[in-house]
């Protein structure tokens, strides 16, 4: 099962490496990872997408909770959440197929970021499934390059009201949110 973990951590040097290392050292693959500052510059939010059953995810969360820099962990798959991913996609755009490419891009709501005589670069933001469908539709035209941001996500409503599992993880003496 796909799980989206939202982890609030202290914004310190090396935290990303420790979290990624902890997960990979236990033999789990990270499908997506994005990190950025929150509204408080001392805290970063990590959104990590991993595959696994509930007991596997629980083991990952237990290990993450042991890290001193971890403040809060939420498994968003247990509730309602909003998720987005950004992709930049460069495709071959020979004149004979250019109109088709632009029509497909329009259906998905992709923005044209750059166009030359031979290529088009498009931007699309949306749920993971929408991004995957867009990639599948563009493959026949010849994808030359693509860059993806990884999933970013936030729980809808308050965690208690929507069912997401929240685990405070701050060690004694660390002020959490």
82-152 is a CATH 3.30.70.1150 domain: yes
Contact 91, 173 (CB under 8 A): no
Q: How far is the first Cα of the chain from the last one, in angstroms, to the nearest whole number?
A: 29
The CA distance from 74 to 78, in Å, is 9
Model pTM score: 0.80
20 with 32: CB under 8 angstroms? no
Whether pLDDT at 165 is above 80: no
Name the architecture of domain 2-80+156-168. Answer: 2-Layer Sandwich (3.30)
Determine the average pLDDT of the residues in 34-63: 93
Contacts of 120 (CB under 8 A, 6+ apart): 90, 91, 93, 98, 101, 102, 105, 112, 114
- Identical fold at 2-80+156-168 and 82-152? yes
Q: Is 23:30 a contact under the CB 8 Å cutoff?
A: yes
> Domain locations in the chain?
2-80+156-168, 82-152
Q: Decide if 44 contacts 78 (C-beta within 8 A).
A: no
C-alpha span between 33 and 30 (Å, rounded)? 7
Residue with tokens 């071959």: 92
Structure confidence by residue, pLDDT tens digits, 59-116: 899 999 999 899 999 999 888 999 999 999 999 998 999 999 999 999 999 999 999 9
């Amino acid at each position: 099962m796909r799980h989206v973990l939202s982890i609030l951590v202290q914004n310190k040097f090396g935290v990303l490496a420790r979290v990624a290392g902890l997960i990979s050292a236990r033999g789990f693959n990270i499908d997506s990872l994005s990190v950025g500052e929150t509204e408080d510059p001392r805290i970063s939010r990590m959104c990590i997408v991993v595959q696994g059953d509930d007991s596997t995810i629980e083991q990952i969360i237990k290990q993450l909770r042991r890290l001193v820099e971890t403040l809060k962990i939420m498994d968003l798959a247990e509730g309602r959440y909003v998720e987005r991913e950004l992709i930049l996609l460069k495709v071959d755009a020979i004149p004979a197929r250019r109109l088709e490419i632009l029509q497909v891009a329009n259906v998905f709501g992709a923005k044209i970021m750059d166009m030359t005589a031979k290529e088009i670069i498009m931007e699309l933001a949306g749920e993971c499934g929408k991004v995957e469908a867009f990639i599948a539709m563009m493959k026949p035209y010849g994808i030359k390059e693509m860059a993806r941001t990884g999933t970013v996500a936030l729980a809808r409503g308050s965690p208690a009201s929507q069912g997401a599992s929240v685990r405070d993880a701050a060690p004694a003496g660390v002020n959490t949110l």
